[in-house]
Chains A and B, each alone.
Chain A
Amino acid sequence: MSSVPADLRYAKSHEWVRPEPDGTVTIGITDYAQNSLGDITYVQSPKVGAVLAAGAVFGVVESVKAASDLYAPVAGTVVAVNPALDGAPETVNREPYGAGWMLRLKPAVPAAAGALLDASAYGALLS
């Protein structure tokens, strides 16, 4: 049974979004996604300053099994990427909602995350 924290928002493509107090959003992939991928061996992140459209490919997550595109759940400008994933991409397997975060965006539209799935809707998608 995959973990789906109640305080996050979700995209159908299995990314999660956490609105931060400073107006940015943190983005990662869900527990379901990391479990489906298996051992994650490489995360390709965008550059800080990159401008992403909603639904744009922002990177690639690669596992022993396959490489999968990552999609921006909301539009915005990349303000940070997780430097820890370069040397330890398996962090995404261990802590998909914590230390395994992937990037932080300044959203083009404030509160855009509100339009995404909530935990119960995402949970229903998985079942």
Chain B
Amino acid sequence: MTQLQRTPLREFHAARGARLVDFAGWEMPVQYRSILEEHRAVRRAAGLFDVSHMGEVDVSGPGAAAFLNRLVTNDVARLFPGRVLYSPMCFPDGGVVDDLLVYQRAADNFFLCVNAGNLARDLDWIRKQAAGHDVMVADRSAETALLALQGPRAAAILQELTTTDLSGIGYYHFATGEIAGVPCVLSRTGYTGEDGFELYHAARYAVRLAETLLAAGAPHGLELAGLGARDSLRLEAGYPLYGHELSPAFSPLAAGLGWTVKLDKGCDFIGRDSLVAEKRCGSPRRVVYFRTGDRRILRPESPVLNASGAAVGQVLSGTLSPILQEAIGSALVETAAAAAPLAVGVRGVTVALQLVRPPFVPLGRT
């Protein structure tokens, strides 16, 4: 068994009662007190997440903008310094390599934030694609820590600790500044559906920054939140998670992320031909989101059945919405079957799926 990787906050978590689990090869806090309570704290006030396991990759050089626009499906040409873009990155067949954030620092200077579990594979893929382009690709993951401060109180908490005017940073924009003396990238992004910031900083400052944020946030109702709450928050918001709603097996169009696939962005990109064809013919399967009106959680890989009991898909994600107090989730189903009644069997009971367009709950940010 390989040694789990640790973020600089591993001891910080352990000292605060975290339940540490293996997540994508990292020893990460899944919860501190209660997943449901941490979830509600983020919707009500704020939560602090250690997401230092995420990968950061610098892409720079005269060819960087053109290279990235060929690498990802969204339109990198729309970026400008200080702007963030969400995009899938596809294989030639349209399957998804990973989903990521693209940050533009300067005309020829970008960085990417990618999923921890995909970092090694992403680096191989990106470096291979970079051949022939005038770019430098550098993995900054080991020296970079990432804290996510999320919730309606996040800006008020953070503003007490920085001279950067946070009202000047719009959603999906970022600035560089200092938080309690720690140099940070302050990115107004997140994975919860609430207002909030993702704070990139040097790993050596992680404990100091986390302690400072936690102390400043306590009077506002800030709580530490683990990956359990992060998952239920993102599902309630209707955000995809790689390995569930995104996969090499189907395209971002099938995943409902058509808005991130810019077929007419004026340059070719990896997967474009396949995605053009899929858009013309329609996706054979698609990701749907459902609620159930029932508390029984429908687990990933459970078969989705049509009215005659035939399997027409499978569950991708499932949890209990702590806000709705009912089971919600996503499934990959045959497109032709999605218009008719669908159900999932759980311990001898058939639970009908009510298909909905996420988000499942009103959000501070959508």
Instruction: Looking at the assembled complex, report how far the CB atom of B219 sits from the nearest CB atom of chain A, in whole angstroms.
Output: 26
A39 and B347: CB pair below 8 A? no
A39 and B296: CB pair below 8 A? no
A64 and B232: CB pair below 8 A? yes
Q: Give the chain B neighbours of A44 by CB distance below 8 A.
A: 296, 347
Q: Give the chain B neighbours of A42 by CB distance below 8 A.
A: 295-297, 320
Contact with B along A67-109 (1 / 0, CB 8 A): 1000000000000000000000110010000000000000000
Chain B, interface size category, equals 10 to 19
Taking a contact as CB atoms closer than 8 A, the residue among A39, A60, A62, A89 that contacts B34 in the complex is A39
Taking a contact as CB atoms closer than 8 A, the residue among A60, A64, A93 that contacts B228 in the complex is A64
Near B by CB (< 8 A), chain A positions 1-52 give: 38-39, 41-42, 44
B320 and A41: CB pair below 8 A? yes
A41 and B228: CB pair below 8 A? no
Question: In this assembly, does B319 line the interface, its C-beta being within 8 Å of a C-beta of chain A?
Answer: yes
Near A by CB (< 8 A), chain B positions 1-55 give: 19, 31, 34-36
Of A62, A67, A89, A90, most buried by chain B (CB within 10 Å of CB) is A62
CA of A78 to CA of B169, assembled, Å: 61
Q: Give the chain B neighbours of A39 by CB distance below 8 A.
A: 31, 34-36, 228
A62 and B296: CB pair below 8 A? yes
Q: Give the chain B neighbours of A38 by CB distance below 8 A.
A: 19, 31, 34-35, 228
Instruction: Looking at the assembled complex, report how far the CB atom of B297 sits from the nearest CB atom of chain A, in whole angstroms.
Output: 6
Given A64-B36, A67-B347, residue A89 in contact with residue B295 (CB < 8 A): yes
Q: Give the chain A neighbours of B319 by CB distance below 8 A.
A: 64
Near A by CB (< 8 A), chain B positions 278-322 give: 295-297, 299, 319-320
Q: Give the chain B neighbours of A60 by CB distance below 8 A.
A: 347
Q: Give the chain A neighbours of B35 by CB distance below 8 A.
A: 38-39, 64
Instruction: Looking at the assembled complex, report how far the CB atom of B346 sits from the nearest CB atom of chain A, in whole angstroms.
Output: 8
Instruction: Looking at the assembled complex, report how far the CB atom of B248 sits from the nearest CB atom of chain A, in whole angstroms.
Output: 27
Instruction: Looking at the assembled complex, report how far the CB atom of B271 sits from the nearest CB atom of chain A, in whole angstroms.
Output: 35
Instruction: Looking at the assembled complex, report how far the CB atom of B243 sits from the nearest CB atom of chain A, in whole angstroms.
Output: 17
Instruction: Looking at the assembled complex, report how far the CB atom of A112 sits from the nearest CB atom of chain B, in whole angstroms.
Output: 28
Instruction: Looking at the assembled complex, report how far the CB atom of B329 sits from the nearest CB atom of chain A, in whole angstroms.
Output: 13
Contact with A along B122-155 (1 / 0, CB 8 A): 0000000000000000000000000000000000
Instruction: Looking at the assembled complex, report how far the CB atom of B232 sits from the nearest CB atom of chain A, in whole angstroms.
Output: 7
Instruction: Looking at the assembled complex, report how far the CB atom of B156 sits from the nearest CB atom of chain A, in whole angstroms.
Output: 28
Given A38-B35, A41-B297, A42-B296, residue A64 in contact with residue B347 (CB < 8 A): no
Using CB atoms, name the residue of chain B closest to A69.
Answer: B347
A62 and B297: CB pair below 8 A? yes
CA of A93 to CA of B34, assembled, Å: 10
Using CB atoms, name the residue of chain A closest to B19.
Answer: A38
CA of A44 to CA of B347, assembled, Å: 10
CA of A67 to CA of B228, assembled, Å: 16
Q: Give the chain B neighbours of A64 by CB distance below 8 A.
A: 35-36, 228, 232, 297, 319-320
CA of A41 to CA of B36, assembled, Å: 9
Instruction: Looking at the assembled complex, report how far the CB atom of A2 sits from the nearest CB atom of chain B, in whole angstroms.
Output: 14
Q: Give the chain B neighbours of A89 by CB distance below 8 A.
A: 295
Instruction: Looking at the assembled complex, report how far the CB atom of B139 sits from the nearest CB atom of chain A, in whole angstroms.
Output: 33
Using CB atoms, name the residue of chain B closest to A43.
Answer: B295
B297 and A90: CB pair below 8 A? no
Q: Give the chain A neighbours of B228 by CB distance below 8 A.
A: 38-39, 64
CA of A62 to CA of B299, assembled, Å: 11
Taking a contact as CB atoms closer than 8 A, the residue among B34, B36, B297 that contacts A67 in the complex is B297
CA of A90 to CA of B347, assembled, Å: 21
Q: Give the chain A neighbours of B36 by CB distance below 8 A.
A: 39, 41, 64, 90
- Which 3 pairs from chain A and chain B are nearest by CB? A41-B320, A42-B295, A39-B36
Q: What 19 new A-B contacts, CB under 8 Å, besides A38-B34, A41-B36, A89-B295?
A: A38-B19, A38-B35, A39-B36, A39-B228, A41-B295, A41-B297, A41-B320, A42-B295, A42-B296, A42-B297, A44-B347, A62-B295, A62-B296, A64-B35, A64-B297, A64-B320, A67-B297, A67-B347, A90-B36
Q: Can you show 16 pairs from A to B with CB atoms below 8 A apart?
A: A38-B31, A38-B35, A39-B31, A39-B34, A39-B36, A39-B228, A41-B36, A41-B295, A41-B320, A42-B297, A42-B320, A64-B36, A64-B228, A64-B319, A64-B320, A93-B34
